[in-house]
A and B are shown apart, each in its own frame.
Chain A
Amino acid sequence: MMHFLLLFSRQGRLRLQKWFTPTPEREKKKIIRDMTAMVLARKPKTCNFLHWMDLKVVYKRYASLFFCLAIDDQENELLALEILHRYVELLDKYFGNVCELDIIFNFEKAYFILDEFLIGGEVQETSKQTVARCIEASDMLQEDDNSDWYDVELFG
């Protein structure tokens, strides 16, 4: 089970936060502080895993952005790394050559994609196509509100 996902820049600026387990505000702030400090302090050629209290933290840097995911101790760290990677792939597919700016200015889209991919701390859908299709369909609603078409589009 995943506990939280944080995206932050090299400067330690938070770009996205998702909490899968109920966490009090005060603790959230502490975690964000700890995570950015710990992850940013890591030297190159160290492993992508950290311990934080009784959780494992798996992080990976994509360009200037750090993706940081906390999982239960008995979870598979490598798999968590691939979850991060899959998320980046999904963002990339949606934005087309995703960059940090896309996530900054369209963070709500990044959240929508995340919500189709992970839910309640578990992987919801592993098929890239399905997630993409789902997001597209919901997006189209914005432009065209008489929604007869989506049935075909979304559900193939």
Chain B
Amino acid sequence: MSDVVERTLTALPSLLSSDPSPGRPSSTSKLGTLIRGITELTSKHDEEKLIQRELVSIKEQVSSPNTTMRQMKELMVRAVYCEMLGYEASFSYIHAIKLAQQGTALDKRVGYLAVSLFLNESHELLLLLVNTVLKDLQSTNLIEVCMALTVVGQVFPKDMIPAILPMVEEKLNHPKEIIRRKAVLALYKFYLIAPNQVQHIHSKFRKALCDKDPGVMSASLHIYLEMVTEKPESYKDLVVSFVTILKQVVGGKLPIDFNYHSVPAPWLQIQLLRILSLLGKNDRSTSEMMYEVLDESLRRAEMNHNITYAILFECVKTIYTIHPKAELLEKAAKCIGNFVLSPKINLKYLGLKALTYVVQQDANLALQHQMTIIECLDHSDLIIKRETLELLFRITNGQNVKVIVEKLLEFLRHSKDDYVTIDLGGKVTELAEKYAPDNSWFIRTMNTVFLLVGDQMQPDIPNSFLRLLSEGFESAEEDQQLRLLAVDSYVSLLQEQPARLPQRFLQVISWVLGEYSSVKEGLEPATVLRLLAPLLDLRHCSSETKSWVLAAMTKLSAGPACLSVAQELAERHGGSLDTTLRQKLHELQHLASDAELLRRVLPCSDGLESLEVDSSLSFLDGFVSEALAAGAAPYKPPHQRQEELAQEKALSVEPYGLSLPLSLSSSSIAGRLSPTVLSMSSGLSGNSTELSPKGGALRLEGVTRVWGKEGYLAKAALKPEEAAKTEVPCTLSVLQEGGSAPRTPVVSLPAPAPGPSLQAEREKQQLASCLFVGLGSQGAAGPCLMGKAEPTRHGFRKKVKGQGSSSGAREPSGDSASSSHSPSPLSAQSAMDNLLCSSPLDSGSTPSPADSAPSPADSAPSLADSATSPVDPAPHLPHDLPANNRPCDAQEDLTEDTDTSETVVEGNSVAVVDPYDPESLCLSPHLPEELCGLPRSEFRPLCRDASLVLSACCVRTDHSSLLVVFVSNASDSAARGFALQMTSGDLEVSRVRGGPEEEEEHVEGHSVAVYQYSLVPTRPSVHMELAGRASYQRPDGEPQSTPFSYGLSLPDFIRPLSVSTEEYGRLWLASSNDTKQNLALLSQEPDPLRATLHRLRDRLQLNVVDIIASEGIVACQLLQGPPCLMHCRLNAGCLAVWLRSSLPELPDCLLYHCQRALAQH
């Protein structure tokens, strides 16, 4: 067959000119003309002009309303052709979708084809296709169903899978096998892009596996291969089925249709073999079930054709993957031998590949074929050569490493492919590090790698190389020798042609010379300096490399000879535009002239004291919080920014539910905004997590003995040297300096470190380490190092915003002059609001522009509050509970207060005059017995009408929050069929069946029925709203339905978390989302820290784990959710808190409530 094809295709050129035969598609069509036109052109330029003209004409026609669908089809084909030639025709995408939508039969088919060629699954236009697909899936025309399923199997927007999933599932039961097959493949596609979506139909996959049509069955194997790869242990029960199917296939039981060159269903066989190998891996009993069929497969596949070799290859792989059986292994080995020895080059390649695969289990096999392997090593085909090297890489050991590495390097020298170069470079490095026979070989090999791979190499290669040099092997003598060799070879390299060396290599050389050139006797530092200095003149030398070079020079700069070199350099490069370079030069000059300072900055110790690097960069906390206080935007790590962007873009698939208007209620807006805007959140966490891997890695390798336990102050003293080391710390030190402009050389040398404050720091550190001694090994880098309070920094803190925040939080206490005598939670709330627009705080008298809108609402509830405050019904509870819905309720009250007969009456605004006041109904006796004595909120009315009054309170048990709803029927007749429905966007509401009454319920006259609901927050939020509806039949039979709502706040769902200090330390390290902020301190108290923390404990149910000196740790937990940890420290009259939790929203929300709890007295 293939010969026929070849022959006909060879005859092709003569056909180009002649007219195609009548059965052939015409080339006189417009497409034909276009194609002919293009073939006649000679230059690329002409082609471009022709196509642009073509595109313009297509564009005109597609947008013309008179174009019929048939013409449109033709246009689409042309547009596809133009795109294939590499010219963009994006204007036609939308028309392709339209064609798929409106065309009939073949037009539609072209439309679908164009869509699948034009768009990929993330293209937004695809959304427009969903309806068309839906319609076609429901079509009675099977071909249309096929088309729809085909396009779904190729491109479909992930988000829209739920929309069509049921319909595709349904097609699994379709009477026609082609539809079933396509449906299975569509589900396979879904499984690949969104595995969770199809989790529930695993049983249907099984049905597809048992389908009577082999096509459907083999389609289902794609899904099984994926699922088995992921989780082999779940599919062991299917081994028997797979084995049976394979037996049948091998035995030729399938229709002859499925034969390929008289081999029965090869694709099916190979798929099954793959699945079996996954299932039999490391599983003896499962493997035993397969031996027979594998043997059979090997035996049957004897015909001399590519496809049988493909099957054999797969068999061999399977045999070597599953639990071994000697007999089979022998046969497989023979098979591999045949491959390797075959004169056919494709088979040889496969043989090498198989050898590579099995050689780790059976090195003898490689020995058997060593001669062939050697031959392949010199093969003219690079691909064969490369595959052989791959094999050699696997069999490398201490004895053969020299030869193999030499071969690899040889290949590397001639390789032009970047990917291959990088890959092989990594492999050589790995081998050299593992098996190096001696030091000089190692250094030589690494030099070659650095030279050959150059700057594309993976960054971890130079890093680990430097680490190897600095940490050394077993014996110190060996290490010294290694370093000496390195220095020697680098010196000679620099003497030769430094201009040719790649950047990475130059960096390595600089570091090694800077660090170890003293190892070589007789090598004067000045000589090295003179060797390094010319590097700065190299044009291709990047400024990063120059920094490395200068860092090395700085380390060596001792003695007058060096000073002269340094001065020379300073003169030459002093005018450089690169400020970093200038700064480093300046440092070099200073250190070269001041040996004493140099010794202090760069202590010359050879020992390998372990480095302690504060990878969280906590020494910058003070700086960051100041910047934030000064109005800087909080730092967001890149992934978060990306997520936010994605969220903005993403379309919501869910229908808009009731929850939307509720969650938009003003309370939640005000509530959500203030913590997020105010909080100085996540900046530091971002630094810690984002910078440390990058900078940390570099610094660990490249920098020694710089960042000691002394933290940042030590660093301040060490600044020049540290700045000289790498880019990252350099910029940071600039930041830390607090200046906004880059440091100029003039300020670069710090005045002698501030002695007293250093002393103070040390003491603080000792304190801190005493405080957090139990926090585990890395604990030291955690909270205790955080934000060293810096007395000198106060100048910065006196910035607009910072001042606002501290005084603002305290404002309500000094606010007694304003209207309400007992400062209500609301005034605290409005204080928050004011802060948002950074206006001076005086909620009553000077309304700021932004404040003016809500101000009428302000006054009403605060009056109301003062009216109710004498009756404080629930002393156990946080005071702010009743205030939850204030802002919105108040407004409602204002607008609706004439309309009391109906709906929502909330808040206590009418409490004094309301005959239905919940308190006056004496509800407490009705509280279920088991709930008495537990902390609860006050009773609040939900709604009422002529006969019923609904009230509710929230009761907190240790493990749940219960909403208890009291239905009081004040009338004489019973309310029949009473039912309550509740929903919430933030809460999971489930009924607790406490009482005897079920389903149909009646509330008898003059009685109180009690309902309990358990509430679990689905995500933390400052306020949570619950919407409900009470329905029942009035005595006259009229159905009656009344809506109500109930507001809850986060503290209702916060529980103390009792942990030991050690556990706290572990948890702290495990949590990631940080938020930091300064809170007001209860400064009038004798022990402000303790008083403040206790206030938080009492109000918000936090557990104060420990208080030591000026720091305290506090822990709590979201109900049925993750913990939230809080670390507090006294800092300049404020309480600096640092919160961490695995839930990103939790710290923000909690902070908000902390502010409120501290604001009200």
Complex CA distance for A47 and B142, rounded to whole angstroms? 43
Set A86, A101, A115: member contacting B150, Cβ < 8 A: A115
Interface residues of A in 69-92 (CB under 8 A from B): 76-79, 81-82, 85-86, 88-89, 92
| Chain B residues with CB under 8 A of A18 | 117
| Chain A residues with CB under 8 A of B346 | 47-49, 77-78, 81
B78-113 vs A, CB cutoff 8 Å, 1 = contact: the mask equals 001100111010000000000000001110011001
| Chain B residues with CB under 8 A of A29 | 86
A28-67 vs B, CB cutoff 8 Å, 1 = contact: the mask equals 0100100000000001011111111110000000111100
Set B24, B177, B307: member contacting A102, Cβ < 8 A: B24
CB<8 Å pairs between A and B, sample of 20: A16-B84, A18-B117, A45-B381, A47-B383, A54-B419, A62-B2, A64-B13, A78-B307, A89-B5, A98-B5, A102-B24, A102-B25, A107-B81, A107-B84, A111-B117, A115-B116, A124-B153, A126-B265, A155-B176, A155-B178
Determine, out of B215-223, B493-501, B1117-1125, B1144-1152, the stretch whose residues face the partner at the interface. B215-223
B1 in contact (CB, < 8 A): yes
Q: Please list the 8 inter-chain residue pairs (A to B) with the smallest Cβ-Cβ separation, ordered nearest first.
A: A63-B9, A78-B310, A22-B120, A141-B105, A142-B106, A46-B381, A127-B257, A97-B8
Complex CA distance for A103 and B332, rounded to whole angstroms? 42
| Chain B residues with CB under 8 A of A32 | 86
Set B258, B267, B345: member contacting A47, Cβ < 8 A: B345
| Chain B residues with CB under 8 A of A109 | 25
Interface residues of A in 102-146 (CB under 8 A from B): 102, 104-109, 111-112, 115-116, 119-120, 122-130, 134, 137-139, 141-142, 145
| Chain A residues with CB under 8 A of B143 | 137-138, 141, 147, 150, 154
Tally inter-chain residue pairs, CB-CB below 8 A. Answer: 218
Complex CA distance for A142 and B106, rounded to whole angstroms? 5
Determine, out of B181-189, B606-614, B679-687, B748-756, the stretch whose residues face the partner at the interface. B181-189
| Chain B residues with CB under 8 A of A119 | 150, 153-154, 182, 185
Q: How far is the CB of B888 from the nearest CB of chain A, in Å?
A: 46
A89 touches B1 (CB 8 A): yes
Interface residues of B in 377-418 (CB under 8 A from A): 380-381, 383-384, 386, 417
Tally of contact residues, A, Cβ under 8 A = 78
A134 touches B178 (CB 8 A): yes
B327 in contact (CB, < 8 A): no
Determine, out of B15-23, B869-877, B1059-1067, B1075-1083, the stretch whose residues face the partner at the interface. B15-23
Set A65, A76, A88, A125: member contacting B181, Cβ < 8 A: A125
A105 touches B31 (CB 8 A): yes
| Chain A residues with CB under 8 A of B86 | 14, 29, 32
| Chain A residues with CB under 8 A of B386 | 51
Interface residues of B in 161-196 (CB under 8 A from A): 176-178, 181-182, 185, 188-189, 192
For A128, the closest partner residue in chain B by CB is: B257
Given contacts A23-B120, A105-B25, A147-B141, contact A47 B8 (CB under 8 A): no
| Chain A residues with CB under 8 A of B5 | 62-63, 88-89, 92, 97-98
B292-320 vs A, CB cutoff 8 Å, 1 = contact: the mask equals 00000000000000110110011000000
A46 touches B1 (CB 8 A): no
Q: How far is the CB of A26 from the nearest CB of chain B, in Å?
A: 11
A79 touches B270 (CB 8 A): yes
| Chain A residues with CB under 8 A of B185 | 119-120, 122, 124
4 further A-B contacts with Cβ under 8 Å, apart from A105-B20, A120-B185, A142-B105, are A43-B380, A46-B383, A95-B24, A134-B178
B146 in contact (CB, < 8 A): yes
B residues near A (Cβ < 8 Å) are 1-2, 4-6, 8-13, 15-16, 20, 23-27, 31-32, 35, 77, 80-81, 84-86, 88, 104-106, 109-110, 113, 116-117, 120-122, 141-143, 146-147, 150, 153-154, 176-178, 181-182, 185, 188-189, 192, 215, 218-219, 222, 255, 257-258, 260, 265-268, 270, 306-307, 309-310, 313-314, 345-346, 348-350, 353, 380-381, 383-384, 386, 417, 419-420
B104 touches A145 (CB 8 A): yes
A99 touches B11 (CB 8 A): yes
B383 touches A99 (CB 8 A): no
Complex CA distance for A153 and B380, rounded to whole angstroms? 52
| Chain B residues with CB under 8 A of A111 | 113, 117
Complex CA distance for A66 and B682, rounded to whole angstroms? 55
Set B9, B122, B222: member contacting A62, Cβ < 8 A: B9
| Chain A residues with CB under 8 A of B307 | 78-79, 82
A98 touches B8 (CB 8 A): yes
A63 touches B6 (CB 8 A): yes
A86 touches B260 (CB 8 A): yes
Q: How far is the CB of A120 from the nearest CB of chain B, in Å?
A: 5
Complex CA distance for A50 and B192, rounded to whole angstroms? 26
| Chain B residues with CB under 8 A of A107 | 77, 80-81, 84
Q: How far is the CB of B226 from the nearest CB of chain A, in Å?
A: 9
| Chain A residues with CB under 8 A of B215 | 125-127, 130
| Chain B residues with CB under 8 A of A138 | 106, 109, 143, 146-147
| Chain A residues with CB under 8 A of B218 | 126
Complex CA distance for A115 and B113, rounded to whole angstroms? 9
Q: How far is the CB of A156 from the nearest CB of chain B, in Å?
A: 10
For B26, the closest partner residue in chain A by CB is: A105
Complex CA distance for A139 and B110, rounded to whole angstroms? 11
Complex CA distance for A147 and B346, rounded to whole angstroms? 48
A63 touches B8 (CB 8 A): yes
| Chain B residues with CB under 8 A of A49 | 346, 349, 383
For A78, the closest partner residue in chain B by CB is: B310
Interface residues of chain B: helix, strand, loop or mixed (majority):
helix
Complex CA distance for A151 and B141, rounded to whole angstroms? 9
B4 touches A97 (CB 8 A): yes
Complex CA distance for A138 and B419, rounded to whole angstroms? 44
Given contacts A47-B381, A77-B349, contact A154 B154 (CB under 8 A): no
Complex CA distance for A108 and B115, rounded to whole angstroms? 12
Complex CA distance for A1 and B25, rounded to whole angstroms? 33
| Chain B residues with CB under 8 A of A122 | 185, 188, 222
Complex CA distance for A64 and B121, rounded to whole angstroms? 33
Complex CA distance for A92 and B147, rounded to whole angstroms? 23
Complex CA distance for A127 and B256, rounded to whole angstroms? 9
| Chain B residues with CB under 8 A of A147 | 105, 141, 143
Complex CA distance for A15 and B1025, rounded to whole angstroms? 61
A104 touches B35 (CB 8 A): yes
| Chain A residues with CB under 8 A of B11 | 99
A150 touches B142 (CB 8 A): yes
Given contacts A48-B346, A49-B383, A141-B106, contact A79 B181 (CB under 8 A): no
Complex CA distance for A124 and B216, rounded to whole angstroms? 9
A134 touches B260 (CB 8 A): no
Complex CA distance for A43 and B266, rounded to whole angstroms? 30
| Chain B residues with CB under 8 A of A64 | 9-10, 12-13
Set B15, B84, B117, B177: member contacting A14, Cβ < 8 A: B84
| Chain A residues with CB under 8 A of B13 | 64
A108 touches B80 (CB 8 A): yes
| Chain A residues with CB under 8 A of B182 | 119, 124
For A104, the closest partner residue in chain B by CB is: B35
Given contacts A76-B270, A112-B113, A122-B188, contact A99 B12 (CB under 8 A): yes
A101 touches B15 (CB 8 A): yes
A120 touches B142 (CB 8 A): no
For A60, the closest partner residue in chain B by CB is: B2
Set A53, A78, A126: member contacting B350, Cβ < 8 A: A78
Given contacts A22-B121, A105-B25, A120-B185, contact A53 B257 (CB under 8 A): no
Complex CA distance for A128 and B257, rounded to whole angstroms? 7
Complex CA distance for A138 and B255, rounded to whole angstroms? 24
A51 touches B383 (CB 8 A): yes
For B179, the closest partner residue in chain A by CB is: A155
| Chain B residues with CB under 8 A of A123 | 267
For A145, the closest partner residue in chain B by CB is: B105
Complex CA distance for A92 and B218, rounded to whole angstroms? 25
Given contacts A105-B31, A119-B150, contact A100 B9 (CB under 8 A): yes
| Chain B residues with CB under 8 A of A63 | 5-6, 8-10, 12
